[in-house]
């Protein structure tokens, strides 16, 4: 009976992702690019080849990410300068993408390659960092395929798709303004995120075609959870991780569908 009334401000059920679209090759200057939209959140992800690897890298290639929010992506307008928050997010994106690539194989005829994935938030409505991971992996994969196709890479160095989603413990707002008991919800929009008791970002890596893990399930790459209004229990954590895994399986299917549109 409880499920009869809409659980969420946008009428989704707790385990439902927002409307999702991935537009590959949104721009042509970068080697790979995709515009990812999840609900009203939109992030432009590009993957560019850099001429050289970091000085401290002894061998293999390297992948980094940069994350920024366009000032007009939020209301009120944000500031253009990179904040501590941005730096933290781009470190997360970079680690996540590197988990999807065998860096020892990211080497071309003239030595290690370096790829920079830029994630620029065009419009922000919650979940920008997880959308950035999901989109940036597609941009990166397009770039890697082009490098293989043009013989700048001998073998594709990919270790499986990487995608991310946010989950949380949120009290659904009732029609009368009262808050119901908080429940676990998938893919929070900004309004939900700002009311969340717990906020958890989950990054997972899927198996490669023909090389799935024994149980066929994606594995965890990053788990970042914060109790925003006090602490949370192991049982709540488990419930959120269940939701996240199901959502990420859906996201990985969408990533695959987008890549199928691309001619490489």
What is the contact surface with its own copies in residues (CB under 8 A)?
A: 27-31, 33, 40, 42, 44, 46-51, 66, 68, 70-77, 80, 82, 84-85, 87-88, 90-91, 95, 99, 116, 118, 120, 122-124, 159, 200, 204-205, 218-227, 230-234, 237, 241
**Residue 128 known to bind ligand:** yes
* Tokens at 163, concatenated: 């995608």
| CA–CA dist 74, 191 (Å, integer) | 13
Residue number with CB closer to its own copies (192 or 222): 222
Residue 119 beta carbon to its own copies: minimum distance, rounded to whole angstroms: 10
Residue number with CB closer to its own copies (50 or 191): 50
Beta carbons of 171 and 156 less than 8 angstroms apart: no
Beta carbons of 9 and 30 less than 8 angstroms apart: no
Residue 8 beta carbon to its own copies: minimum distance, rounded to whole angstroms: 19
Give Cβ neighbours of residue 110 (< 8 Å, ≥ 6 apart): none
Give the DSSP H or E segment for 241. helix 234-261
**Residue 85 known to bind ligand:** yes
Q: Give the side-chain half-sphere CA count within 13 A for 32.
A: 29
CA 222 to chain CA mean position, Å: 11
Residue 6 beta carbon to its own copies: minimum distance, rounded to whole angstroms: 22
Residue number with CB closer to its own copies (82 or 253): 82
Residue 76 beta carbon to its own copies: minimum distance, rounded to whole angstroms: 7
* Tokens at 104, concatenated: 């020892």
Residue 118 beta carbon to its own copies: minimum distance, rounded to whole angstroms: 5
Residue number with CB closer to its own copies (7 or 90): 90
Residue number with CB closer to its own copies (7 or 128): 128
| CA–CA dist 131, 163 (Å, integer) | 8
**Residue 227 known to bind ligand:** no
Residue 108 beta carbon to its own copies: minimum distance, rounded to whole angstroms: 15
* Tokens at 221, concatenated: 């790459």
Beta carbons of 22 and 36 less than 8 angstroms apart: yes
* Tokens at 6, concatenated: 């809409």
**Residue 234 known to bind ligand:** no
Residue (of 17, 28, 22) closest to 257 by Cα position: 22
Binding-site residues from annotation: 85, 127-129
Binding-site residues from annotation for phosphate: 85, 127-129
């Amino acid at each position: 009976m409880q499920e009869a009334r809409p659980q969420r401000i946008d009428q989704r059920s707790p385990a439902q992702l927002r409307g999702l679209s991935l537009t590959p090759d949104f721009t042509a200057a970068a080697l790979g690019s995709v515009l990812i939209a999840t609900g009203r959140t939109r992030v432009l992800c590009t993957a560019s080849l850099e001429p050289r690897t970091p000085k401290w890298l002894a061998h293999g290639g390297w992948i980094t990410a940069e994350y920024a929010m366009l000032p007009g992506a939020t209301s009120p307008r944000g500031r253009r300068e990179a904040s501590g928050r941005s730096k933290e997010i781009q470190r997360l994106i970079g680690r996540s993408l590197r988990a999807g690539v065998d860096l020892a194989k990211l080497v071309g005829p003239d030595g290690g390659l370096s790829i920079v994935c830029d994630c620029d938030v065009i419009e922000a409505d919650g979940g920008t960092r997880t959308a950035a991971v999901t989109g940036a992996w597609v941009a990166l994969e397009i770039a890697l395929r082009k490098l293989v196709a043009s013989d700048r890479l001998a073998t594709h160095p990919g270790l499986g798709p990487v995608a991310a989603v946010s989950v949380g413990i949120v009290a659904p707002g009732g029609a009368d303004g009262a808050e119901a008991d908080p429940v676990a919800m998938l893919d929070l929009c900004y309004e939900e995120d700002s009311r969340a008791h717990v906020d958890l970002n989950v990054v997972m890596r899927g198996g490669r075609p023909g090389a799935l893990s024994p149980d066929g399930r994606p594995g965890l790459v990053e788990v970042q959870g914060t109790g925003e209004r006090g602490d949370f229990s192991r049982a709540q954590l488990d419930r959120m991780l269940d939701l996240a895994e199901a959502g990420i399986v859906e996201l990985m299917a969408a990533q695959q569908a987008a890549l199928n549109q691309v001619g490489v």
